[in-house]
């Protein structure tokens, strides 16, 4: 006989599960935590096979199963927020009272992000890409909470005003002006800055008769480029013979001629000038002329003339750009209100900048130029480009230029990825069709077409100033 | 020659041959010079996986010459001085090919200072000799404890560690009544135990050690005293290994369902209800819907007991945590299987027995009845296992 | 029930384990697992990419880690692979073996790595086990895996002196075996003449179950690699064939202590043994098998279970022990590895039985290798309220 159930018999009982346990961190985990605790230093481990730096550290690489327990790498206490969530409910198991932010933070030097608490900022203001730094706990718990939390580092990336002594404000957040500025920049993301590199130090009239030598020729060519859509011209002044010059007067004459004819244009002067110039010659002209922008080179490198087909060396030259020069030139430019355009001929140059940047004298945004195809630098490869783009510090712009046939592929990729473009006879004397260009302006016209394809508009010089953080003279 | 950290500069060079690792010297064909200020000059020549060390004034054909003082040289070699900082601070200089210098690091095993052997007796003297300096008064505040150690074997002896008034004192005998007495059949086991070479449970299990008195206090030794560090251990500090200790505690909510619900509700009325299997006739306690032996639903509710006979009791000496609190349960206690009146075979009912009656319980089997017991009901009953406090002997 | 294997044969081609010990502060869980995985890969000569699928298991609630299979990937090598988690209490290691065998035999995967582990020092074994019982009732009473009932049974049946001696003799034999096994956790160097002293002095846990007779609490891991017949023959010189396995469960209540022989409950060991031997045509298991790696949580149980597993009668099982036929050079060696009493990282324990049995068949057990040819091996797993798994291994593919 089947029994019928009575629902009234059902009830619930409260119970509890309370069990003691312990967790052994092991050698790797203990080293990680005790280093944070005792040295306020965060360490990861590198897998050489996979070329990845992991944090939290682990004994084996999960991908290739290599033993990596000894490959300790010091990481920075700063990093970038790669993602975050706002915890809006309270629970006794949570580390903070709600609301609080849990962020995925990719520490500088690491390849994997890790989770931690982001504090010192209203949850609404947290953004992906923001720079944060570790705040260490006063009392140890021998856990990852020996880093109490991460906090934004806005006070470090403060903009140094180019003129007038900077008041030492301790800013926890961006001012309204700065926030507006960021907003305006964001709104201009469809704008692309086209730079015309009119001459360079080594492109001669016998290669393309349209290379300017005299101030007048520079002024005319610059005006044509502006008309075609360029917002900035990059200039290596020449002597009448066509040789690159470091003489203050000649350079100032060329600069002024361009500005007189087309006052709107941004003039970007070279701090490389040409072969065989001393550091003093290279930077003093910038300080003398004070252009709105100037190139800043990042790496000592071969800068040679070779025949690519045969490998024959025509001229072997070492282009010297030591750390000291990077530091001194950069500081001099910033102090004189000249915005540096940071020239990276390879990833090393970018890394050099990231190191020197720690000194804190660069104003934000930082503007980079990826240069391809110099004999001594790297040739254009899309994956290298993307790697460099990904390695940029936050709040940075990038443009690109390529020597010879690298020119159009590299600017196309840059335009596609949201970067800017530089063309001109300095880099390349021919149009994509193979004809000698009628001038840098014709190459600018091609760049404008590329921008059109990707739905981007050439920025006006004023828009370019806004984007690059340049103060108009 | 002067000694630095108990080691002479000469010792480092004289042991190079025995520390040499041919596999680390593969492809090296060079001479390395060492100019140790005030000590002398040495030349190390490596070729074809072989080495030679000589004291000489002529270091001209060396690819690199290390220049430093004796203290730094010894310190770096035995790991007392950080090589990088010595190098950065200029105390340790190298002239010539710096890259080549790096190769020498792989060629040699680390220098280990010669050790004097320590006997078991030496250890015991050192261990008890350092008890006072290892004492942590703040951890033992207000404690009044006598730890007695009775260590047997050839090197054994008796010690008492007395904690009182936030001070600590050691005497080499046992007198009066200690709070805790630790007995080790062989003093060597105590030394191994203190050095972390063997665990206490193994020793206790094998009957090689015994604890008398307040065992819980014995476990606190580690809180009252800093860990004994083996003076024979290498100069390198043993890595600190972290252990996180926590108690997980989560609230739970269980639905009784109709069958268990009815069973528990009946307890409120001091009734024990079982369900009967229509096939094998077993009575399931606590009540269950299905007989898992016959795989059929029960056919009827049957009231059984509440008195019955004990068929088996687990006499529990081992303290386990109460899963409801995480607290360790008091021992000993008796967990009984009671065959309630009206049940037969294996249809036993599990509960605990009144603690002071554990030793009087007799088990039954087949036709032989066990001790008769009856439930002692709680005044306040909520429909839980605790509605019955325990069973007691039915006298 | 018919022979289980329908699709294809499966061989064990790699075995790895950690040294089992009372505590491993120097490694965290995935790091410890990795040691066993690495050892199994090295033993088989395989690389991680040769593994198609991983089955991973341990006891629930023992280390208080949720989803250990997820964060153990660093040690298991499951990154980007199929992985299954298995947790069936004390039998988990044996079930891991069954699962890996099934996954390969079915044709789903060619090479499967089974990993069992436990870090008992990190949790509370008995506290964890109490949670297997009904939270409304038995959880509040339960004593974990400890019970003196078996001791009581044997004493009642054979008298106190003979029973206690048999249990302690079994214990000393296991210690002698453990002394031969470098991976064993507890190897005390016990001697036969210490038995009386141990019976008298070893602390009691529950009833007549003494601390020395109970299994250890160990940290350790075990990994075993299973491959299809085709792959096994290609990848290994000496695969050990998994002939069959059987699992018998019973209900989760503890109503088995009535001691009334007229009303027997399902005794899973006997049931499992009967089924396995019947369908494989084995009439005399003591004759047939060359080694038995038994899941022996305590020496009392081990002695009692010999009768169950080998379908013996009367005091035949006691005689096997008393005549030392269970020693490494005896008629039917039991646990030449030292067994569970020596090493018990629970989630790995039953898998270790299979692993050790496979090593015996291969002849690779080292110092604890049985000194005669091992062709047929039996391994058992045990858990919960008497749940049993039996696994049969063979040297030749000739059944």
Nearest 5°: the CA angle A408, A411, A415 is 135
| Nearest C-alpha in C relative to B285 | C255
Contacts of A26 in chain C (CB under 8 A): 24-28, 31
Question: How much is the average pLDDT of C321-329?
Answer: 96
Q: What is the mean pLDDT of chain B?
A: 85
Question: A19, C127: Cβ pair inside 8 Å?
Answer: yes
Over residues A282-311, the mean pLDDT reads 90
Name the DSSP class of A139.
S
Token pair belonging to B36: 């140790």
Residue A164 has pLDDT above 70, yes or no: no
CATH 3.40.50.2300, domain B120-224, yes or no = no
Q: Which residues contact C261 (CB under 8 A, 6 or more apart)?
A: B366
Omega within 30 of 0 (cis) for the link into B57: no
Q: What is the rounded CA–CA span in Å between residue B1 and residue B16?
A: 18
**Chain C contact set for A13 (CB, 8 A):** 136
**B66 and B93 Cβ atoms separated by less than 8 Å:** yes
Are residues C47 and C81 in contact, defined by beta-carbon separation less than 8 angstroms?
A: no
User: Would you call C259 and B243 a contact, using CB atoms and an 8 Å cutoff?
Assistant: no
Here the CATH number for the domain that contains residue C229 is: 3.40.47.10
Residue C282 lies in a domain: no
- Reported as a pLDDT band with limits 50, 70 and 90, residue C356 is very high
The pLDDT of residue A171 is 40
Continuous segment of H or E residues that includes residue B290: strand B290-291
Mean pLDDT value across residues A306-330 = 87
pTM: 0.64
What is the CB neighbour count within 10 angstroms for residue A304?
15
Across A3-17, A194-208, C254-268, which has the greatest mean pLDDT?
A194-208
Decide: C28 and C56 in contact? Cβ < 8 Å.
no
Residues of C in CB contact (< 8 Å) with A are: 23-28, 30-31, 34, 48, 61, 63-64, 73-75, 77, 79-80, 119, 121-124, 127-128, 131, 135-136
Confidence at residue C28, expressed as pLDDT on a 0 to 100 scale? 92
Nearest 5°: the CA angle B322, B325, B328 is 45
Rounded to 10°, the helix A215-228/A248-261 angle is 40
Cβ contact (<8 Å) for C207 and B314? yes
Pairwise CB contact (< 8 Å): A22 & C23: no
Within A229-261, residue ranges assigned H as helices are 248-261
- Is-contact A47 A63, C-beta < 8 A? yes
Distance (Å, whole) CA A47 – CA C334: 45
Nearest CA to B157 out of B193, B187, B126, B194 is that of B187
User: Strand C240-248 and strand A312-315: pairing?
Assistant: unpaired
Beta bridge partners of A449: none
User: Measured between CB atoms, does C197 come within 8 Å of chain B?
Assistant: yes
- Say what the pLDDT of residue A463 is: 92
ipTM, two decimals: 0.84
Q: Which of residues 324-363 of B touch C (CB under 8 A)?
A: 324, 326, 335, 337, 339, 344-348, 350-352, 363
List Cα–Cα distances, B342 to A407, B261, B270, B375, B390, in angstroms: 98, 21, 16, 15, 20
What is the distance in angstroms between the CA of the first residue and the CA of the last residue of chain C? Answer: 17
Q: How many contacts, defined by CB atoms under 8 Å, are there between A and B?
A: 117
Is A15 in Cβ contact with B246 (below 8 Å)?
A: no
Instruction: With a cut of 80, say whether residue A160 has pLDDT above it.
Output: no
Give the Cα separation of A200 and A393 in Å (integer): 28
Residues 6+ apart with CB under 8 A from B82: B76
Distance in angstroms (rounded) separating the CA atoms of residues A280 and B106: 45
The sign of the dihedral angle between the CA atoms of A155, A159, A160, A163 is: negative
Task: Give the model confidence (pLDDT) of A74-123 as tens digits.
Answer: 999 999 999 999 999 998 888 889 899 999 999 999 999 999 999 999 99
CA distances from B216 to A21, A40, B144, B208, C285 (A): 18, 37, 14, 20, 49
Contact B39, B49 (CB under 8 A): no
Q: Per-residue pLDDT tens for B189-236?
A: 898 888 877 777 778 877 788 888 877 777 778 888 888 877 776 555
The band of A166, judged by pLDDT with boundaries at 50, 70 and 90, is: very low
pLDDT exceeds 70 at position C259: no
Instruction: Find out whether the peptide bond into B306 is cis, omega within 30 degrees of 0.
Output: yes
pLDDT higher than threshold 90 for residue A315 = no
* Nearest C-alpha in C relative to A16: C135
Q: Per-residue pLDDT tens for C200-253? A: 888 888 888 888 898 888 999 999 999 999 999 999 999 999 999 999 988 776
- The answer to whether C197 and B207 are in contact (CB under 8 A) is yes
Distance CA B226, CA C112 (A): 48
CB contact under 8 A, C27 and A27: yes
List the 222-251 stretch of C: residues with Cβ below 8 A of B. 250-251
CB atoms A59 and C27 under 8 Å: yes
CATH architecture type of domain B3-107? 2-Layer Sandwich (3.30)
Residue B97: is its pLDDT beyond 60?
Answer: yes
Other CB atoms within 10 Å distance of the CB of residue C331: 13
Spatial neighbors of B293 by CB under 8 A, at least 6 apart, are B277, B280, B282, C251, C265, C266
Query: So where are chain B's domains?
Result: 3-107, 120-224, 258-393
pLDDT at residue A172 above 50? no
- Paired with C391 in beta bridges are C245, C379
Taking contacts as CB-CB distances below 8 angstroms, the residues of chain B near C260 are: 311, 344-346, 365-366
Burial code of B36-63, b = ≥16 C-beta within 10 A, e = fewer? Answer: beebbbbbbebeeeebebeeeeebeebb
User: Of A21, A25, A62, which is closest to C63 when you measure between CB atoms?
Assistant: A21
The token pair at A306 is 């070779």
User: Is the pLDDT assigned to residue B324 strictly greater than 60?
Assistant: yes
| Count of the separate structural domains present in chain C | 1
Tell me the pLDDT tens digit for each residue of B253-280. 889 899 999 999 999 999 999 999 999 8
Tell whether C181 is covered by a domain: no
pLDDT value of residue C265: 67
Note whether B132 contacts C: Cβ–Cβ < 8 A. no
pLDDT at A159 over 60: no
Reported as a single tens digit per residue, the pLDDT across B116-159 is 677 888 888 888 888 888 888 888 888 888 999 999 888 888 99
* Average pLDDT for chain C: 90
Cα-Cα-Cα-Cα torsion C32, C38, C41, C42, nearest 10 degrees, comes to -130
* Higher per-residue pLDDT: B321 or A329: A329
Q: What is the mean pLDDT of residues C183-194?
A: 90
Q: What would the pLDDT profile of B287-309 be if each residue is shown by its tens digit? A: 989 988 888 999 999 999 899 99
The CA distance from A162 to A184, in Å, is: 20
**Tokens found for residue C331:** 């008629």
pLDDT over 70 for what percent of chain A?
94
* Residue-averaged pLDDT of chain A: 88
Closest residue by Cα to residue A304 from A202, A200, A411, A384: A202
Distance CA B46, CA B69 (A): 23
Q: Under an 8 A CB cutoff, do A9 and B321 touch?
A: no
Q: CB-CB: which of B243, B253, B258 is closest to A24?
A: B243
Rounded to the nearest 5 degrees, what angle is found at the Cα of B161, between the Cα atoms of B159 and B163? 165
Confidence of residue A165 (pLDDT cuts 50, 70, 90): very low
Handedness of CA C327, C329, C333, C339 (dihedral sign): positive
* pLDDT band, residue A162 (cuts 50/70/90): very low
Residue C145, pLDDT score: 64
Higher pLDDT, A18 or A162: A18
CB contact at 8 A, C318 and C158: yes
For A12, the closest of B242, B244, B255 (CB atoms) is B255
Query: What pLDDT is recorded for position A178?
Result: 67
Does residue B286 have a cis peptide bond before it, meaning omega lies within 30 degrees of 0?
yes
Instruction: Write out the residue range of the structural domain in which residue C37 sits.
Output: 10-125+217-235
Out of A5-14, B168-177, C138-147, C163-172, which region has the weakest mean confidence (pLDDT)? C138-147
Do the domains B120-224 and B3-107 match in fold?
A: yes
Helix ranges (DSSP H) in chain B: 9-14, 16-19, 70-78, 83-88, 98-107, 120-129, 131-134, 187-194, 200-205, 215-218, 221-224, 257-268
Q: What is the CA radius of gyration of chain A?
A: 27
Q: Find how far residue A260's CA is from the centre of its chain.
A: 32
CB neighbour list of residue A57: distance below 8 Å, 6 or more residues apart: A28, A29, A31, A32, A43, A44, A45, A69, A72
b/e string for B207-241 if b means 16 or more Cβ within 10 A? bbbebebeeebbebeeebbeebebeeeeeeeeeeb
| Tens digits of residue pLDDT in A325-351 | 999 999 999 988 999 999 999 999 999
- Report the number of secondary-structure helices (H) and strands (E) in chain C: 15, 11
First to last CA, chain A: 100
Neighbours, chain B (3 or more CB pairs < 8 A):
A, C
% of chain B residues with pLDDT over 70: 95
Q: What is the pLDDT of residues B331-376, one digit of tens each?
A: 788 889 999 999 988 888 989 999 999 999 988 877 788 999 999 9
């Amino acid at each position: 006989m089947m029994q019928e159930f009575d629902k009234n018999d059902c009830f619930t009982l409260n119970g509890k599960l309370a069990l003691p346990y312990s967790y052994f961190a092991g050698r790797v985990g203990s080293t990680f935590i005790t280093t944070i605790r005792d040295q306020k230093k965060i360490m990861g481990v590198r897998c050489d096979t996979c070329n990845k730096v992991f944090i939290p550290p682990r004994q084996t690489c999960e991908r290739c199963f290599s033993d990596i327990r000894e490959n300790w790498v010091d990481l920075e206490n700063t990093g970038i927020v790669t993602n975050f969530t706002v915890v809006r409910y309270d629970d006794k198991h949570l580390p903070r009272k709600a609301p609080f932010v849990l962020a995925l933070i990719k520490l500088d030097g690491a390849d994997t992000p890790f989770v931690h608490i982001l504090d010192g900022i209203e949850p609404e203001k947290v953004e992906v890409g923001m720079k944060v730094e570790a705040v260490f706990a006063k009392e140890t718990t021998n856990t990852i909470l020996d880093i109490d939390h991460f906090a934004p580092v806005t006070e470090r990336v403060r903009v140094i005003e180019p003129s007038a002594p900077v008041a030492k404000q301790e800013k926890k957040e961006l001012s309204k002006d700065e926030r507006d500025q960021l907003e305006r920049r964001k709104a201009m993301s469809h704008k692309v800055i086209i730079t015309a590199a009119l001459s360079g130090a080594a492109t001669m009239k016998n290669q393309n008769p349209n290379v300017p030598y005299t101030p007048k020729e520079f002024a005319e060519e610059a005006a044509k480029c502006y008309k075609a859509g360029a917002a900035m011209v990059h200039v290596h002044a020449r002597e009448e013979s066509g040789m690159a010059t470091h003489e203050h007067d000649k350079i100032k004459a060329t600069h002024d001629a361009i500005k007189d004819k087309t006052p709107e244009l941004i003039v970007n002067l070279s701090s490389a000038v040409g072969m065989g110039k001393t550091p003093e010659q290279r930077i003093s002209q910038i300080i003398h002329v004070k252009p709105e922008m100037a190139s800043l080179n990042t790496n000592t490198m071969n800068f040679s003339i070779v025949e690519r087909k045969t490998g024959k060396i025509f001229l072997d030259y070492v282009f010297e750009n030591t750390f000291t020069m990077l530091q001194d030139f950069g500081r001099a430019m910033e102090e004189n209100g000249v915005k540096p355009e940071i020239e990276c001929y390879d990833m090393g140059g970018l890394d050099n900048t990231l190191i020197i940047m720690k000194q804190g004298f660069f104003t934000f945004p930082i503007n980079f130029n990826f240069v391809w195809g110099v004999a001594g630098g790297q040739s254009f490869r899309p994956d290298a480009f993307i790697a460099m783009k990904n390695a940029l510090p936050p709040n940075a712009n990038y443009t690109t230029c390529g020597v010879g046939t690298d020119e159009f592929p590299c600017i196309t990729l840059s335009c596609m990825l949201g970067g800017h473009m530089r063309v001109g006879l300095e880099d390349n004397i021919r149009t994509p069709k193979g004809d000698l260009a009628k001038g840098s302006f014709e190459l600018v016209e091609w760049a404008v077409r590329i921008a059109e394809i990707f739905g981007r508009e050439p920025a006006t010089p004023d828009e370019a100033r806004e984007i690059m953080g340049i103060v108009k003279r | 020659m002067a000694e630095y950290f108990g080691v002479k500069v000469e010792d480092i060079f004289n042991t190079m041959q025995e520390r040499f690792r041919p596999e680390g010297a593969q492809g090296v064909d060079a001479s390395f010079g060492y100019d140790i200020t005030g000590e002398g000059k040495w030349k190390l020549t490596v070729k074809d996986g072989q080495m030679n060390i000589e004291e000489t004034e002529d270091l001209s054909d060396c690819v690199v010459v290390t220049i430093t003082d004796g203290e730094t040289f010894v310190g770096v070699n035995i790991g007392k001085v950080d090589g990088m900082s010595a190098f950065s601070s200029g105390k340790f200089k190298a002239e010539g090919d710096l890259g080549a210098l790096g190769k020498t690091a792989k060629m040699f095993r680390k220098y280990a200072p010669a050790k004097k052997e320590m006997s078991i007796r030496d250890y015991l003297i050192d261990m008890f000799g350092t008890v006072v300096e290892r004492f942590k008064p703040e951890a033992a505040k207000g404690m009044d404890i006598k730890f007695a150690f009775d260590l047997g074997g050839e090197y054994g002896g008796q010690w008492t560690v007395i904690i009182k008034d936030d001070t600590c004192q050691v005497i080499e005998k046992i007198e009066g009544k200690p709070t805790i007495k630790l007995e080790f059949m062989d003093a060597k086991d105590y030394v191994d135990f203190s050095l972390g070479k063997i665990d206490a449970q193994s020793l206790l299990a094998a009957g090689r050690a015994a604890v008398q008195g307040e065992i819980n206090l014995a476990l606190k030794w580690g809180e009252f005293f800093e860990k004994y560090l083996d003076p024979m251990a290498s100069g390198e500090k043993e890595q600190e290994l972290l252990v996180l200790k926590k108690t997980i505690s989560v609230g739970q909510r269980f639905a009784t369902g109709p069958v268990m619900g009815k069973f528990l509700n009946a307890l409120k009325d001091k009734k024990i209800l079982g369900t009967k299997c229509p096939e094998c006739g077993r009575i399931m306690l606590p009540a269950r819907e299905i007989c898992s032996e016959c795989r059929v639903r029960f056919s009827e509710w049957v009231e059984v007991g509440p008195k019955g006979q004990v068929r088996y009791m687990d006499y529990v000496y081992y303290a386990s945590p109460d899963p409801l609190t995480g607290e360790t349960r008091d021992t000993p206690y008796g967990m009984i299987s009671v065959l309630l009146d009206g049940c037969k075979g294996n249809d036993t009912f599990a509960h605990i027995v009144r603690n002071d009656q554990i030793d009087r319980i007799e088990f039954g089997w087949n036709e032989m009845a066990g001790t008769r017991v009856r439930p002692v009901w709680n005044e306040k009953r909520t429909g839980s296992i605790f509605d019955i406090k325990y069973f007691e002997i039915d006298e | 029930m018919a022979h289980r294997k329908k699709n294809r044969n499966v061989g064990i081609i790699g075995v790895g384990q950690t040294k089992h010990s009372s505590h491993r502060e120097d490694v965290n869980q995935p790091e410890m697992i990795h040691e066993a995985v690495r050892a199994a890969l090295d033993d088989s000569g395989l690389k991680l990419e040769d593994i198609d699928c991983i089955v991973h298991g341990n006891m629930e609630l023992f280390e208080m880690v949720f989803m250990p299979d997820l964060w153990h990937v660093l040690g298991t090598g499951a990154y980007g692979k199929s992985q299954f988690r298995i947790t069936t209490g004390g039998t988990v290691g044996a079930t891991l073996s069954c699962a890996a065998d099934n996954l390969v035999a079915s044709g789903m995967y060619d090479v499967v790595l089974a990993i069992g582990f436990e870090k008992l020092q990190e949790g509370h074994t008995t506290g964890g086990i109490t949670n297997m019982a009904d939270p409304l009732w038995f959880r509040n009473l339960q004593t974990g895996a400890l019970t003196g009932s078996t001791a009581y049974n044997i004493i009642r049946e054979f008298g106190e002196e003979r029973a206690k001696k048999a249990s302690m003799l079994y214990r000393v034999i296991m210690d002698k075996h453990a002394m031969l096994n470098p991976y064993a956790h507890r190897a005390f160097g016990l001697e036969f003449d210490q038995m009386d002293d141990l019976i008298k002095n070893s602390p009691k846990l529950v009833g007549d179950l003494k601390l020395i007779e109970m299994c250890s609490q160990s940290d350790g891991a075990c990994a075993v690699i299973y491959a299809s017949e085709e792959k096994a023959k290609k990848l290994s010189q000496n695969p050990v064939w998994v002939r069959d396995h059987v699992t018998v469960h019973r209900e989760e209540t503890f109503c088995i202590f009535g001691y009334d022989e007229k009303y027997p409950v399902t005794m899973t060991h006997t049931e499992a043994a009967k089924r396995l031997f019947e369908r494989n045509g084995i009439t005399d298991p003591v004759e047939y098998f060359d080694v038995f790696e038994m899941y022996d949580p305590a020496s009392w149980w081990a002695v009692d279970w010999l009768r169950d597993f080998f379908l013996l009668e009367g005091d035949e099982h006691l005689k096997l022990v008393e005549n030392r036929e269970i020693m490494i050079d005896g008629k039917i060696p039991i646990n030449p590895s030292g067994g569970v009493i020596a090493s018990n990282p629970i989630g790995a324990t039953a898998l270790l039985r299979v692993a050790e049995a496979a090593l015996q068949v291969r002849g690779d057990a080292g110092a604890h290798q049985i000194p005669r040819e091992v062709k047929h091996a039996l391994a058992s797993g045990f858990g919960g309220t008497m749940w049993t798994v039996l696994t049969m291994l063979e040297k030749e593919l000739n059944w």
